[in-house]
Amino acid sequence: MARKSAITDSTPEFEKAVKAREPKKYVLRLYVAGINTRSSSAIRTVTTLCEEHLKDHYELEIIDIYKQPNLAKGEQIIAAPTLVKKLPQPLRRIIGDMANKERILVGLDLKPKK
């Protein structure tokens, strides 16, 4: 008696496993207040951290709250600079001085809290 072998389609499981291994896409918004030393420093720090830790896996939008106050109001931004991590979930806000790189990395879930 010949034995039949069962062939199953494992394509969906394979695609799910591949997708799970792909790096997450980070969607970030940095709210600044005008062009000044503090804003420039925040932009430079956040951009550098993104390039070092999220290379090719992030979108960073820089929003000047003086030029686009409606966007700041819609996001309930009360201080600048503020970095908002929209994706991946959960939503996170890092408010104030962006000089503390460790704090930013923890806020973006790129480094565990100590």
Cα–Cα distance measured from residue 81 to residue 99, given in angstroms and rounded to the nearest whole number: 11
The torsion angle over the Cα atoms of residues 90, 91, 95 and 98, rounded to 10 degrees, is 70
Q: What is the pLDDT of residue 21?
A: 57
Q: What is the pLDDT of residues 8-29, one digit of tens each?
A: 666 767 566 545 556 689 999 9
How much is the pTM? Answer: 0.78
CATH of domain 24-107: 3.40.30.10
User: 4 pLDDT exceeds 70?
Assistant: no
Q: Give yes or no for a contact between 34 and 66, defined as CB atoms under 8 angstroms apart.
A: yes
pLDDT tens digits, one per residue of 33-79: 999 999 999 999 999 999 999 999 999 999 999 999 999 998 999 99
Residue-level pLDDT at 17: 56
